[in-house]
Amino acid sequence: MSRYRIAVHIVPRRGILDPQGKTVADALHTLGFGSVRDVHVGRHIVVDLEARDQKAAEQSTRDMCERLLANPVTEDFEIASVEAT
């Protein structure tokens, strides 16, 4: 077994009202970042786990996202990085 550190991004699904993202975008506009078109605020989760290989580690993390880490009704997730540790 090897050890992996996997980071996951979870964001509100496009099309679902994201008042937090909108508030942050408004604040950025106030600060003068007029080029900002859209902001979405989500979660960044880092999981340390043991797995046979990288493929198994990623599959296991995807299962975690589908069952607990992300809400399939309102959120999308993606694996942001995988690192052997």
Partner 1 sequence: MKFGIVTFPGSNCDYDAYQAVVEKLGEDATFLWHKDHDLHESDVIVLPGGFSYGDYLRAGAIARFSPVMQDVIGFAKRGGPVLAICNGFQIACEAGLLPGALLRNTSLKFVCETVRLRIETTDTMFTNRYERGAVLRVPIAHGDGRYTADDATLDKLEGEGRVVFRYLGGPGDADEWWSPNGSMRSIAGIVNDAGNVLGMMPHPERAVDPLLGSEDGLGIFESMLARVTA
Kind of pairing between the strands at 2-12 and 43-51: antiparallel
| Contact between 20 and partner 1 per CB under 8 A | yes
Q: Which residues contact 50 (CB under 8 A, 6 or more apart)?
A: 1, 2, 3, 4
- 19 makes contact with partner 1 (CB under 8 A): yes
- Indicate the residue among 20 and 59 with the shorter CB distance to partner 1: 20
Burial of 6 (0-12, 13-18, 19+ CB in 10 A): buried
Under rule CB under 8 A, which residues in 24-43 are in contact with partner 1?
43
Minimum CB separation from partner 1 for residue 60, in Å?
A: 17
Residues of this chain that bind partner 1 (CB under 8 A)? 12, 16-17, 19-20, 23, 43, 68-69, 71, 73-74
